[in-house]
Amino acid sequence: MSTPRRLLARLRELMARGAAPLPELVRLVAAEFVCEVCSIYVMRPGDLLELAATEGLLLSAVGQTRLRVGEGIVGLAAATHAPLNLPDAQNHPAFAYRPETGEEKYASMLAVPVRRAGRTLGVLAVQNRAPRRYDADEVEVLETVAMLLAEILSVAGSVVADPEGLAATLPRRFGGTHLADGLAIGPAVVTGPARGPLRLLAEDPAAEQARLEAAVASMQRGIDTLIAGGLPQGEGADSAASREILDAYRMVAAGTGWLQRVADAIRGGLSAEAAVHRVAGDLRERMRRVTDPYLRERLADLEDMVGRLLDALDGAAARPPVPPGGILLTRRLGPAELLDWHGRGIAGAVIEEGSAASHATILARALGIPVLGGARGVVEAASPDDLVVLDADEDQVILRPEQEVLQVYARDLAVRNERRAGWAQLRDRPAATRDGTRVRLMLNIGLAMELGQLEATGAEGIGLFRTEIAMLAHGGMLDVAEQAAIYARVLDAAGDRPVLFRTLDLGGDKLLPGGAVPEEENPAMGWRSLRIGLDRPALMRRQLRALLLAAGGRDLSVMFPMVATVAEFRAATALLRAEAAKMRPAPGRLAVGTMLEIPALMWQLPALLAEADFISVGTNDLLQFLFAADRGTPALAGRYDLLSPPVLALLADLAAQCAASGVPLSVCGEHASRPLDALAMIGLGITSLSMPASFVLPMKAMLGGLDLGLLRAFLAQLRATAGGSPSLREPLAAWAREHDVAI
């Protein structure tokens, strides 16, 4: 019998006797395959491959050696789902040396992934001292062994069992989406779903209804107190900011009439707690099925409200204190709950079902709490007090980090804290380069509660006030008086500093509940923003009237988004000036500008610059339209760069034409807050940038170390020699490091 047939026959005999012990299996393969090493790596939670059995490597490495998927030859085989046949593995670029295994004396390696039903369960590897490439028959045999091994690993979890609880102590890394920037290190604070009702049935419906009404009143008083005392200080008008969030939070109850349905369930014989659970469960399922992304986000508000109402019903004891620097891990999070946790001292949050549209995310940004969303499985994997590294900037969270990893992040956090302490003294210092060029740094905000950041950062104004955010938070369109009250508070807080109000930028990924959702294959390029306003002029007139009313005779700057043609800009401007003509008192100075997001405007600049009072670049949309790359498509993330020759050429041309026409130019897109991108734009002559508040002081620090003359000379030379390079990011970053510019 040939060696391959004999090996497979002996494997079948081994399996016929029951669950095959892995040590016996590797000994058998090593003997029959005539190899000096045979090892089995088993997939553990967190995409870790752990050495589970070996013949030939040091046995002390079993259970100790671990590789991430994609790390080393073994990890690469798991990541690519394909065998790796290497005559000299140690000189392969992916090789990862693990001294505890004693594998340095082995040259050749054949690593085969162990897969079943589309899942990678582990990797089977053989090694020899002599450099050699395993032949096709040997590869086929080892793949067959791997197939049999997959059956062994999948049978009742016999091999991947973790009798010593090792999986609960291994590091685990989860990817996600940063919702609020920052870094935090601390113990895990794990929350679960609302508890079930202790009592299902009740004999006295009237008494249960009275309990419900008292609990609702208590809950709402608690929310009022929480919001009034839990928001950032210096926000202008605490009561106004509280009302915005409270209205949004109460929208779930008021909009669905769910408390009436709870009352109906109580009349049917349920206790108040059981009725709340039943109705909330029905609403939860309905909300999961809706396609409107904003409405789906209100599920977190519902969960928050249910938990608070149940606490009020049964008089739950106060929650235990949060350990210092605690990181909240939860599936969903409502706004009031976030404020509660913030007041109790959490340093960050990981929300499995969180998104940029949620109320909690809006609050987190204002509170300066790092938040990561989309990290599925983290709540189930974590135990209370597990150490957590939350790196929202790099879109990841690490449970139980290795000591070396923890030390790296701890040093990074210490540097950040030291740097932040140094930034505080820059608040009152003008933003200027080392050689004296002033740069105007302004804020992007959308809620009144963020207005305090004007004083906290020393920003020179508001370069983008997103008027749609208050309506998204409210859950519906606001009337003229309600809008005017918000805009007036913004102007009051800004004082003499400029404010650029962007008209409603709805559509695409920003939808109001209850509004008709057009069926579009690509909503980002569809019926949105100014297009909606021009097609629904009554809607636009109401907002323009509110802006003029809020100005009350003061200067007013209005900016239109998603302008594709000069004709659209003229039509929108005509609506604004018609409303202004009827307003008493009229605004002191009415400035009308446009966002430049659609590249078509670049070929209409002379006509546009003759009519626009200012232009502001929205880099996110500009890049996606320029490169035909939907910014919401993960496969295209990072594929196209603002620091590429075509984008830099566009921005340079725009800056030159605006300067020649005397029309102010600013950038308010996301890239304005990225130091290296901002560096390039300043070098091109764009000296007005608008960004989230947390980036203003770091940007001032960066500017203070910049010699603009040197930068412009280097950037001109770099662009002249760029050729067909996809990006100039690396050489520009190298220049910045060489000249000690803090990027």
Q: Which helix (H) or strand (E) holds 558?
A: strand 556-560
Q: Are strands 348-351 and 371-373 parallel, antiparallel or unpaired?
A: parallel
The Cα 668–Cα 670 span in angstroms is: 7
- Check residue 438 and give its pLDDT: 95
Mean pLDDT, rounded, for 619-631: 85
Mean pLDDT, rounded, for 302-324: 70
Looking at 178, 277, 342, 359, which residue is catalytic?
359
Q: Name the pLDDT band for 197 (thresholds 50, 70, 90).
A: low
Q: How far is CA 344 from the centre of its chain?
A: 23
Domain 3-168, second-level architecture: 2-Layer Sandwich (3.30)
Long-range contacts, stretch 303-307, CB < 8 angstroms, 24+ apart: 303/193, 303/194, 303/332, 303/334, 304/249, 304/332, 304/333, 304/334, 304/335, 304/336, 304/337, 305/219, 305/249, 305/252, 305/253, 305/334, 305/336, 306/194, 306/276, 306/277, 306/280, 307/194, 307/337
What b/e string do you get for 111-126 counting C-beta neighbours within 10 Å, with b at 16 or more?
bbbbbeeeebbbbbbb
- Check residue 242 and give its pLDDT: 38
pLDDT more than 70, % of the chain = 78
Domain map (residue ranges) of the chain: 3-168, 175-418, 427-738
- Check residue 238 and give its pLDDT: 35
Higher-scoring residue by pLDDT: 318, 688: 688
Distances (CA, A) of 562 to 478, 524, 601, 630: 22, 10, 10, 15
The per-residue pLDDT for range 451-462, each reduced to its tens digit, is 888 988 899 999
Looking at 35, 38, 658, 668, which residue is catalytic?
668
Higher-scoring residue by pLDDT: 71, 198: 71
Q: Which residues contact 198 (CB under 8 A, 6 or more apart)?
A: 273, 314
Q: Which residues contact 524 (CB under 8 A, 6 or more apart)?
A: 508, 509, 621, 624, 630, 631, 632
Higher-scoring residue by pLDDT: 195, 590: 590
594, 608 contact by CB (below 8 A): yes
Q: Name the pLDDT band for 463 (thresholds 50, 70, 90).
A: very high
Higher-scoring residue by pLDDT: 621, 685: 685
Q: How far is CA 25 from the centre of its chain?
A: 45
67, 96 contact by CB (below 8 A): yes
pLDDT at 251 over 70: no
Q: Which helix (H) or strand (E) holds 594?
A: strand 590-596
38 included as an active-site residue = no
Closest C-alpha to 456, from 632, 213, 272, 233:
233
Closest C-alpha to 185, from 373, 469, 403, 353:
403
Long-range contacts, stretch 297-300, CB < 8 angstroms, 24+ apart: 297/355, 297/357, 297/358, 297/359, 298/251, 298/252, 298/475, 298/513, 299/332, 299/353, 300/332, 300/333, 300/334, 300/351, 300/353, 300/354, 300/358, 300/359, 300/360
Domain 175-418, second-level architecture: 3-Layer(bba) Sandwich (3.50)
The Cα 242–Cα 229 span in angstroms is: 9
Tokens matching residue 360: 């909690």
Mean pLDDT, rounded, for 698-714: 93
- Check residue 728 and give its pLDDT: 93
Q: How many CB atoms lie within 10 A of CB 420?
A: 12
Q: Name the pLDDT band for 516 (thresholds 50, 70, 90).
A: very low
Tell me the range of 251-260, 331-340, 422-431, 672-681 where mean pLDDT is highest: 672-681
Three-state SS string over 237-276 comes to CHHHHHHHHHHHHHHHHHHHCHHHHHHHHHHCCECHHHHH
Placement of tokens 């100039």 in the chain: 728
The per-residue pLDDT for range 40-63, each reduced to its tens digit, is 999 887 788 999 999 999 998 998
Mean pLDDT, rounded, for 613-640: 81
The Cα 578–Cα 723 span in angstroms is: 49
Higher-scoring residue by pLDDT: 614, 357: 614
- Check residue 224 and give its pLDDT: 64
The CATH number of the structural domain formed by 427-738 is 3.20.20.60
Mean residue pLDDT of the chain comes to 81
Model pTM score: 0.59
Torsions phi, psi for 321 (to 5 deg): -65, 155
The Cα 665–Cα 36 span in angstroms is: 69
pLDDT at 368 over 70: yes
Mean pLDDT, rounded, for 154-160: 43
474 included as an active-site residue = no
- Check residue 703 and give its pLDDT: 93
pLDDT at 507 over 80: no
- Check residue 666 and give its pLDDT: 97
pLDDT at 268 over 80: no
Q: Name the pLDDT band for 498 (thresholds 50, 70, 90).
A: very high
Closest C-alpha to 152, from 54, 57, 23:
23
pLDDT at 472 over 70: no
Q: Name the pLDDT band for 283 (thresholds 50, 70, 90).
A: low
pLDDT at 339 over 80: no
Q: Name the pLDDT band for 505 (thresholds 50, 70, 90).
A: confident
Mean pLDDT, rounded, for 568-597: 94
The Cα 690–Cα 454 span in angstroms is: 12
The Cα 378–Cα 373 span in angstroms is: 11
pLDDT at 508 over 60: no
- Check residue 108 and give its pLDDT: 94
3-state secondary structure of 41: strand
Tokens matching residue 64: 């100790």
Placement of tokens 């609880």 in the chain: 165
Q: Which helix (H) or strand (E) holds 94?
A: none
The Cα 706–Cα 718 span in angstroms is: 17
304, 252 contact by CB (below 8 A): no
Closest C-alpha to 616, from 642, 643, 646, 593:
593
What b/e string do you get for 481-506 counting C-beta neighbours within 10 Å, with b at 16 or more?
eebbbbbbbbbebbeeebbbbbbbbb
